[in-house]
Structure 1
């Protein structure tokens, strides 16, 4: 089951982003040079008392008038209602309860979603100021006094948030035989059409299950290829009025679907070709180490000659250079072209993502590779790789024990990755390297 989603909402300048950063802590420091990872990150992983959840900051509003404030607050609250499992409404004790607070509180009450009322900027420890009790008028239950700057009250706030999580959400048993497949891509690329074609043409056991998030639909398929749960992130543009925020929230929903998946099918529109949004969506799957397939949809609508597929494939190799391991398949969700092949490919890349290689075999390859191309040197010092082992799967993660981490340059890591892939395959999956100095931890 996906982690619960907790959204922070509130009017401008009440301290939403400060609270977000305080709750996320050091996890906010994420490498941002990968596709799909933007500097304007409005979500992050959060943990409290062994409960893991996705925290979403709905900040970034810059109003110009009271009317704009109310309009954008409504939009913000609608997004939170649609996306979140629990909502934190942040208010400001210094300004008291304003009309915009009342409006959003009313909307949240009607949503039937759990709402935790946070009264921010209560910087004095102890008995809150008399103004604190005014916030009971919002009708959202007991307010919680918090100082997002100093961290006071954040524990009480999180205690209340996690009290609304299902007791068994992290303990739910998963059928290891079922491959969870996220169908991701920009709007109108044919994600739902693919799921409909799959569920309608495969004489299978089909059932529609309400997804864990508000914007995904799960479709279970059992056929000759195996057991599959297709996660469709359809309907991302339902609220067309959400103009500026729509892409950010589309990315959040795609991220939640990817998190649940074993395999990601990244759908590209053959009639449009590669776009920046395709790169962002693929970046999410890369970031989370998922097995991936690039499915070029609407191939039946493309005028073709003998070179069309090769030219398209060559261009994708450049566009998806950061994901060169992902196989490409040309399909039509409308006609069912190569859908059977897609099943085979899903099973294959899942097995590659789950592959475990013995330490003995890995070090045989390492010995041959280092003899063929000597490890790099710097100022008279040469890199020595003592041995390597596989630490985990999904994705395959390898640990190298060396004399000096600084000498293990990226280019040589890439060389060794290519050698490992040449021998063991690992098609359709990223691999990760962890570099350890042999005496690390013994000082």
Structure 2
């Protein structure tokens, strides 16, 4: 995605930049609300214009503010995106007309030396198109009147983008992808396609240091950070590479208890975070080590387990912990007591602010991913199964002993096993836990969710 031409959407707050972004990428990827300043971090997506893939970046609203303030940090992030752009879509609100802020940032854009396409959004109907002509005075060329909310003029916008980007040949990767799709249509195997990146989500409560962690892993100030809780509102995906290949890293908004979520915008942010968690393969649950394990942290961990994702527990702000041995033991005890279904979950302690210990995180993520993908040979599995039954036979139910015949692994991601026998629907939960713990210990499956499914053998003498 880094080699694609970059189109950056810029403008003052509440002119409809995120709505334009969603129209261009073809789905509701960015949060949209009738509130200024919804977008804070740069949001990236991919669009196709005239058969050519391009990279679209939605930015925070441009505002005059001191550098050390939140809005100052948001503006610095937007300016950084503009500096790398092949084309800037400078958006204004045709409905409200030009403002001094529009004129100020138009002058600033001219000094950046980047190609600019002036977009007058919210120009519904004839009156809106006539009002858009006022933007001629900005000196950025002919304004393109559109209404992103209603879809008016979006096709013209995509055509203008294609005209203004430098010409280039179709990248070889795209040609290969097209050949693969034709081959698949003719019945070729699905696995001829190259594997995608590992999908990794960073989740946790507000102000645990998730965005600081992402910036530390990337080695740049990609996300806006600060002492204010809840800075991240949308789920932001970026690409990262380690020694073993690409990683799609997603930073998410902080997850609070439902009872404390009031505003519509925060509900949207939480929904985006949960959706990112569901789409991930590995989830990093970030905890503030100075506060220990909170009940909300445990609720998030249980959600990760229910979704069948593998989890790495990240103890951030480790440099601020005074008694590290006692803190680590207290966290370990709480996890073993409250998260028995994730026994052996890997724990990494570090400081995202200083970078101390951060080098252990991605190798731990890779190991957790390998365990999540692990398969056990059927022969070894059934030898283990016989040993477990001999050591601790199934209990009597209604005066009759349950007969468990054999076990097989149905799939990985997460490891899922099926036990076959008679009247398995009556197998007590404590015996199921006995089998799951035995699987975890014998076949080295620490921390990953394990699914145990029960299948009863059919009785040929039963009346239909």
**What TM-score results when the alignment is normalised by the length of structure 1?**
0.55
Shift of the alpha carbon at 1:355?
Answer: 0.7
Check the 8 A contact 2:292/2:327 in 1, yes or no: no
Shift of the alpha carbon at 1:194?
Answer: 0.6
Cα 1:273/1:308, change in 2 over 3 Å: closer
Q: How does 1:136-147 map to 2 (within 5 A)?
A: none
Aligned position for 2:206:
187
Cα 1:175/1:221, change in 2 over 3 Å: farther
In structure 1, stretches of 5+ residues that fail to align are 1-52, 55-72, 86-105, 113-138, 142-167, 209-213
Q: How does 1:16-415 map to 2 (within 5 A)?
A: 176=195, 178-200=197-219, 215-234=234-253, 243-245=262-264, 248-304=267-323, 306-415=325-434
Aligned-partner SS, 2:360: helix
Q: Distance in 2 between matches of 1:306 and 1:434?
A: 39
Q: Distance in 1 between matches of 2:363 and 2:218?
A: 16
Shift of the alpha carbon at 1:245?
Answer: 4.9
Q: Does 1:423 pair with 2:442? A: yes
Cα 1:200/1:427, change in 2 over 3 Å: same
Cα 1:275/1:411, change in 2 over 3 Å: same
Following superposition, which runs of at least 4 residues in structure 1 exceed 4 angstroms of deviation? Answer: 234-237, 244-248, 440-443
Q: Distance in 2 between matches of 1:195 and 1:292?
A: 17
Q: Distance in 1 between matches of 2:440 and 2:353?
A: 35
Count of residue correspondences: 286
**What TM-score results when the alignment is normalised by the length of structure 2?**
0.53
Q: Distance in 2 between matches of 1:437 and 1:223?
A: 45
Q: Distance in 1 between matches of 2:399 and 2:261?
A: 59
Shift of the alpha carbon at 1:373?
Answer: 0.3
Check the 8 A contact 2:252/2:273 in 1, yes or no: yes
Check the 8 A contact 2:202/2:250 in 1, yes or no: yes
Cα 1:316/1:436, change in 2 over 3 Å: closer
Q: Distance in 1 between matches of 2:122 and 2:280?
A: 28
Shift of the alpha carbon at 1:244?
Answer: 4.7
| Greater mean deviation of Cα atoms: 364-373 or 398-407 | 398-407
Q: Distance in 1 between matches of 2:398 and 2:453?
A: 24
Q: Distance in 2 between matches of 1:387 and 1:234?
A: 45
**Which structure exhibits the higher relative contact order, with contacts defined as CA atoms closer than 8 Å and separated by 6 or more residues?**
1
Q: Distance in 2 between matches of 1:354 and 1:111?
A: 48
In structure 2, stretches of 5+ residues that fail to align are 1-26, 46-94, 96-120, 124-148, 152-180, 182-189, 224-232
Cα 1:422/1:235, change in 2 over 3 Å: closer
Aligned position for 1:432:
451
Q: Distance in 1 between matches of 2:204 and 2:311?
A: 12
